[in-house]
Amino acid sequence: MQKISLFTLLVILFTSCSDILFTSPQPSFAKNSSDISEDFQGKFNVDRGLYPSDTLNITDKTITFNGIDYTISDDNFVVKSWGNYLFLNLKDSTQKWQLLTILSAPHSLNNTLLQMNSSTIDVGRFNNVDTIAADTTNPNSYTKYILNEVNTLQFHYLLRMSSKSQFDLIRLEELIAVEEEIEDKESPESDIEEQLTTEE
Among 13-22, 36-45, 50-59, 69-78, which stretch is predicted with the lowest mean pLDDT?
A: 13-22
Q: Measuring CA to CA, which residue among 6, 14, 80, 9 is closest to residue 46?
A: 14
Among 30-39, 84-93, 94-103, 191-200, which stretch is predicted with the lowest mean pLDDT?
A: 191-200
Query: Using 50, 70 and 90 to split pLDDT, how confident is the model at 52?
Result: low
Give 63-128 as a DSSP string.
Answer: EEETTEEEETTSTTEEEEEETTEEEEEEE-TTS-EEEEEEEE-TT-S-EEEEE--TTTS-GGG-SS
Q: 54 vs 100, which has greater pLDDT? A: 100
pLDDT at 51: 58
Q: Write the pLDDT tens digit of every residue in 144-179.
A: 899 998 999 999 999 999 888 788 888 887 544 444
Please tell me the distance from the alpha carbon of residue 160 to that of residue 5, in angstroms, as a whole number.
Answer: 28
Q: Measuring CA to CA, which residue among 67, 48, 49, 60 is closest to residue 3?
A: 67
User: Residue 85, exposed/middle/buried by CB under 10 A (0-12, 13-18, 19+)?
Assistant: middle
Domain boundaries, the chain: 6-172
Query: Using 50, 70 and 90 to split pLDDT, how confident is the model at 143?
Result: confident
pLDDT at 189: 56
**Residues facing residue 65 across a β-bridge:** 56, 68
What is the SS3 assignment for 167?
A: strand
What is the SS3 assignment for 194?
A: helix
Q: Write the pLDDT tens digit of every residue in 56-70.
A: 888 998 887 666 777
Please tell me the distance from the alpha carbon of residue 135 to that of residue 103, in angstroms, as a whole number.
Answer: 33
Please tell me the distance from the alpha carbon of residue 124 to that of residue 81, in angstroms, as a whole number.
Answer: 27
